[in-house]
Amino acid sequence: MTETAGALADVRILDLTDERGIYGAKLMADLGADVVRPEPPQGDPLRSRGPHFEAAGAGCTSLWYAYFASNRRFFYLDLQAPQAAEQLAGLVAHADIVLTCDRGFGLELLDLKAAQEQRGELVIINTSSFGQTGPWRDYLAPDIVAGALGGAAATTGDVDTPPLKGFGELNFMVSGAYVAIAALGALFSARATGKGQRADVSVHECLVSCLEQVLMLYWYADRLMREDNVLPRRGSTHWSDAYSVMTGINGSIMITPTPDFDNQLAWLIEEGVHEDLIDPKYMEPENLRLRIDRTMEILRNWVAGKDVEALFHEAQSRHCPYGWVLPIERVADNPQLDARAWYTPYNIGEAQTKATGAPYHFSATPWALADHHGPDADTAAILADIGWSDEQ
């Protein structure tokens, strides 16, 4: 391992995931693990996911794939070929961690139980939609269905919209993060004890574990002085009622008087728009909800006459956690991200562009984005790694 290697530079992973687990493989690949991803002769079906970048050239146009399958080495594997099972077994034998998904590519040729018996330190992480048992075990759940059953969609949307899914792949990015945690947790244990293991990750359970207020309200509604233990979707208004997106002169901004209501009140008084908020009744603990509602009403009227960019910076200078609602092009051109040199050059096939950077910065083991290739790019090198010869 060199001084500039990633944190997982000595970890070898076989990636047989689909959408449900691929983000976990990405997280570990981007941290330096050697992640091999086999593909059928016609290419990974996920290479068809949009958006596309035609300049990258054949086999490389999918930007979805360039993002989620970053830092992989790709391996051509024809499951019909006589050597396929042996090559796949060779890849498993070379790996510290094998990542699979139910009904995933190549599984029909693999005996992972036998592989684990042969190499007790092997870690296997399998992702399923609903677990290995139960009446929904075989249910099909793309991201929108997973988010519906998992409780996320019920929170999102407004009275005049259906329940909504998050943009993109937000549900599977939760299960993917858990996949990485499962793999690295099992690796930690294997290195301490010499014994690997298998872990199962259910997308459904992953989503249920990440719903902030949903289970809290169900269990603790009385302590929160709530009449009901379920909240309907209601636009951007937070479960606490104290955060909401409001409209200014030239855009939208997320406004909250928390965590310091007095600080917000002082600002409103300074601007002469506090109306009746200094009434002592709002200081009574039993009137907290009343105070929140009245404050938000006054803030909404006040924000309507404000330039949202100026308001955002002014709020932050006063330690008020307002958030300017930025469209994607303003996220791409952002002074904070620029100052941290966050966006990263990215070579995709025959073209160059930029990509999102690291979600964390390690002081000793850098995160890096290697060039992204088409199918079959690394097959020969991988065969050499596993000691495969043409005679076989």
Restricted to residues 136-195, the positions that interact with other proteins (CB under 8 A) are: 136-142, 144-159, 161-170, 173-174, 177-178, 180-182, 184-189, 191-195
Residue from 109, 112, 325, 370 in contact with other proteins (CB under 8 A): 325
Angle at 391 between CA 387 and CA 392, to 5 degrees: 60
Provide Rg for the chain, Cα atoms.
25
The smaller minimum CB distance to other proteins, of residues 19 and 87, is found at 19
Tokens of 60: 């490389």
Query: Which of these segments, 268-276, 292-300, 321-329, 381-389, binds other proteins (CB under 8 A)?
Result: 321-329
Shortest Å distance, C-beta 185 to other proteins: 4
Please state, in angstroms and rounded to a whole number, the distance separating the CA atoms of residues 366 and 46.
28
Phi, psi (deg, nearest 5) at residue 26 = -60, -45
Shortest Å distance, C-beta 29 to other proteins: 11
The smaller minimum CB distance to other proteins, of residues 109 and 164, is found at 164
Map the footprint of other proteins across residues 288-317, applying CB under 8 A.
Answer: 316
Shortest Å distance, C-beta 151 to other proteins: 5
* Residue 50 to residues 172, 216, 338, 365, Cα–Cα distance (Å): 16, 37, 27, 32
Question: Does 209 sit near other proteins (CB under 8 A)?
Answer: yes
Shortest Å distance, C-beta 391 to other proteins: 35
The smaller minimum CB distance to other proteins, of residues 88 and 141, is found at 141
Residues 6+ apart with CB under 8 A from 374: 43, 57, 58, 59, 60, 74, 349
Map the footprint of other proteins across residues 3-22, applying CB under 8 A.
Answer: 7-11
* Residue 327 to residues 27, 153, 324, 332, 342, Cα–Cα distance (Å): 25, 22, 10, 9, 18
Interface with other proteins: number of residues (CB under 8 A): 164
Query: Which of these segments, 36-44, 74-82, 328-336, 379-387, binds other proteins (CB under 8 A)?
Result: 328-336
Residues 6+ apart with CB under 8 A from 128: 20, 101, 102, 137, 200, 201, 202, 203
* SS3 state at 253: strand
Angle at 43 between CA 65 and CA 75, to 5 degrees: 90
Contact of 252 with 258, CB cutoff 8 Å: no
The smaller minimum CB distance to other proteins, of residues 2 and 80, is found at 2
Tokens of 249: 């002169």
The smaller minimum CB distance to other proteins, of residues 28 and 298, is found at 28
Question: Does 285 sit near other proteins (CB under 8 A)?
Answer: no
Contact of 17 with 100, CB cutoff 8 Å: yes
Neighbours of 201 (CB within 10 A): 23
Map the footprint of other proteins across residues 356-375, applying CB under 8 A.
Answer: 356-365
The smaller minimum CB distance to other proteins, of residues 159 and 272, is found at 159
The smaller minimum CB distance to other proteins, of residues 310 and 362, is found at 362
Map the footprint of other proteins across residues 233-252, applying CB under 8 A.
Answer: 233-236, 238-239, 243, 245-247, 251-252
Find, among 275, 311, 306, 277, the residue nearest to 292 by Cα.
277
E strands present in 29-176 = 34-39, 72-76, 97-101, 123-128
Residue from 80, 262, 286, 319 in contact with other proteins (CB under 8 A): 319
Map the footprint of other proteins across residues 85-144, applying CB under 8 A.
Answer: 130-131, 133-142, 144
Question: Does 219 sit near other proteins (CB under 8 A)?
Answer: yes
The smaller minimum CB distance to other proteins, of residues 109 and 211, is found at 211
Please state, in angstroms and rounded to a whole number, the distance separating the CA atoms of residues 118 and 107.
18
Query: Which of these segments, 75-83, 104-112, 253-261, 297-305, binds other proteins (CB under 8 A)?
Result: 253-261
Map the footprint of other proteins across residues 43-72, applying CB under 8 A.
Answer: 48-53, 55-56, 63-64, 66-68
The smaller minimum CB distance to other proteins, of residues 317 and 389, is found at 317
Phi, psi (deg, nearest 5) at residue 105 = -60, 130
The smaller minimum CB distance to other proteins, of residues 193 and 392, is found at 193
